[in-house]
Amino acid sequence: MKIVCIGAGYVGGPTMAMIAYKCPEIQVVVVDINQARIDAWNQLDGCELPIYEPGLEEVVQAARGRNLFFSSDTHKHVAEGDIIFVSVNTPTKTRGVGAGKAADLTYWEGAARMIASVSTTSKIVVEKSTVPVKTAEAIEKVLRRNCADPNVQFEILSNPEFLAEGTAIEDLTVPDRVLIGGKETESGQRALAVLKSVYQHWVPDERILCTNLWSAELSKLTANAMLAQRISSVNTISALCEATGADVQQVAHSIGTDSRIGPKFLNASVGFGGSCFQKDILNLVYICEGVGLKQVADYWQSVVSINDYQKQRFVERIIEAMFNTISGKKIAVLGFAFKKDTGDTRETPAIDVCKGLTQDGAKLVIYDPKVTEAQIHQDLATPKFEWDHPQSSGTKSPRSSAITVVEDAYEACEGAHGITILTEWDEFKKLDFEKIYASMMKPAFVFDGRNILDHAKLREIGYIVYALGKPLDP
């Protein structure tokens, strides 16, 4: 059996590496039109892979060259494949009908046309990308009508990916579940059994869930919407805590011990980020609107609105605490990635927070252990789309002179008036805050956007501390 995956990104790379690692008798080839990305996946020992994930390097090194290959020769490998995963990007549309909400399926359709044009043997085509419900219907038409050989059959399966960046290898090794959706026809069920047999190499049967195609497609959007909703819910409570003297961590612990609620995903924060949550909720909103479910659409839209509100609220709190003026003040930004253990900055809340602070005249010195200087400058120079963030419409890109990126947390904090924690990197918890305090302007502020620091200890040292959802300093 030969498996080919179109798209060597955050999902295609790790998922295929895991399949190759666990199934040594299956040949796995990951193809991409981005030659630089393929070259990076093929780097020999000592060079960094194109994405950072704990444990990924070991898995890739064990299988690469044995039964795992990365190539830009897309046509050749797709033509030879039995199972073709499609793991291309499906971003939010930026123009035309549905701009700002609908999923842009340009890359998906391009991949489907290419599969059809090179296929001389029947294939199972697997939706690995997150796509709107009913995408398989459209893809089937594209495949069938673009393949010259009438004997070639395509069977489409939906196999959405639930890995989380930062824990991708752990999530792939011991997944909560693997979801496979297929048609309820005989050939659909046959294809489903073939894909199931791949996962059965390491995933127990009870964790492989089989559904119809539309349920699998919709489950992925729903899972992301529910996870983001939990974050927005606890973030609304963090605002209420600040107004009443309650402590959001105590509230989260109290409700999380209820087995119907559970303790995960209840950390108040400066907001969710990443390439998926906002994109997938907006897509859900668009689908609901399309079928006339306006109230349902409004409900899910509010999850994104609250996320924007939380970022804006955090910026306002910083300005207010620093005596209503941050103009010319140096603020150290610790963390830029959207979460710890990844270098991914897509939709990171740090972008909005940094833009908000520089808009008010602050000078930022940014440090993140895994995000490059070039990436940070690029993210902060990109103008926003008004429809993405209505509250902050009119926000301009900050002047680049207002932003410095350094390679050390202590350097970032030196001479600063305040420190903001925007990513929950473990190394920030271990910093010597006494030493940092001595190097800062006074009064020295800490704004903990992730609630990871020991606030009592910081206050003892002399800092004025603002933490989300926590009682304010007297």
Q: How far apart are CA 269 and CA 248, in angstroms?
A: 10
By the rule CB under 6 A, 310 interacts with ligand NAD? no
DSSP structure string for 153-201:
-EEEEE------TTSHHHHHHS-S-EEEEE-SSHHHHHHHHHHHHHHTT
Q: Which listed residue (3, 17, 29, 74) binds ligand NAD by CB under 6 A? A: 74
Q: Which listed residue (3, 5, 11, 446) binds ligand NAD by CB under 6 A? A: 11
By the rule CB under 6 A, 265 interacts with ligand NAD? no
- Contacting residues for 364 by C-beta, under 8 A, at least 6 apart: 330, 331, 332, 333, 354, 357, 358, 402, 403, 404
Q: Which residue is nearest to ligand NAD (CB)?
A: 9
Choose, from 276, 288, 354, 413, the residue flagged as catalytic: 276
By the rule CB under 6 A, 158 interacts with ligand NAD? no
Count CB-CB contacts under 10 A for residue 429: 12
Paired residues of 332 in beta bridges? 365, 419
Residue 65's region, left for phi above 0, alpha for psi from -120 to 50, else beta, is left
DSSP 114: H
By the rule CB under 6 A, 37 interacts with ligand NAD? yes
- Known binding positions for NAD(+): 7-12, 32, 37, 88-92, 129-130, 165, 276-279, 346
Stretch that binds ligand NAD, among 22-30, 32-40, 359-367, 463-471 (CB under 6 A): 32-40
Q: Which listed residue (3, 7, 249, 303) binds ligand NAD by CB under 6 A? A: 7
Closest approach of ligand NAD to the CB of residue 121, in Å: 19
Q: Which listed residue (10, 70, 85, 336) binds ligand NAD by CB under 6 A? A: 10
What is the amino acid identity at position 164? A
- Contacting residues for 400 by C-beta, under 8 A, at least 6 apart: 377, 380, 381
Active site residue 276: yes
Applying the rule CB under 6 A, the residues between 160 and 219 that interact with ligand NAD are 161, 163, 165
Stretch that binds ligand NAD, among 94-102, 157-165, 282-290, 372-380 (CB under 6 A): 157-165
Judged by CB, which is closer to ligand NAD: 283, or 420?
283
Paired residues of 330 in beta bridges? 363
Active site residues: 276
Binding site for ligand NAD (CB under 6 A): 6-12, 31-34, 37, 74, 87-90, 107, 110-111, 114, 129-130, 161, 163, 165, 275-276
